[in-house]
Amino acid sequence: MPVRFRSGSAPSFSRKHAIDSSRHKCLIYLLLVGFVITLAACSSRPNVFGESREARLLRLEEERRELSRTEDPVERTRIQIRISDLMISFMGDAVAAGDTEQVEARLAEYRSAIIDARDTMMASGRNPVTDVAGYQNLEIALRQQIRQLDDIGTGLTVTSREPIEALIIEMTEIRNELLDSLFPTADPV
């Protein structure tokens, strides 16, 4: 049965309604663009893999200078994460060059940066359940970096890969420790 409208009862799609609708769509679009730009601007971990070696070395110097001036535990952790990203990129360079000594040296620097970041957060006195900043940054970074370390290890021989495999195990344990802190389970009664 067809629906019939009495005169004046049908929905009106006037020109004014069309203009309001297009304004509404434009406003939503602008808000979404602004949100995406804000997210991009807030990223504290630039993609270092696309940068030249010289640019990464300069960035490493800058990060180390900033680390020496920073007392805030969350900011120190974020800086250590950026340093650890750089160390992974340098490990990748060393693997590509076949320089296993350089791989092991960068591996030790990476490990030191992550352990310092973890120790900084654990000693900060911040509650990881209510004040997640720093803890969450490190956990997310480790999740990504463990995959990157595994990818780097595929470019090595079986015996040369052993230190990276040991590092992956250690970083996974640190990540699990962070996850346990962020999401504690209730004690059984």
- Tell me the domain boundaries of the chain: 80-182
CA–CA separation, 182 and 161 (whole Å): 31
Kindly report the pTM of this predicted structure. Answer: 0.74
Amino acid of residue 178: L
The SS3 call for residue 6 is coil
Nearest to 118 by CA among 100, 91, 139, 132: 139
* Per-run averaged pLDDT (10 residues), the chain, 189 residues: 58 60 57 41 64 95 98 98 98 94 96 98 95 97 97 91 96 97 77
Percent composition of the chain: helix, strand, coil (DSSP 3-state, to 5)? 75, 0, 25
Task: Give the angle 21-25-31 at the CA atoms, nearest 5°.
Answer: 145
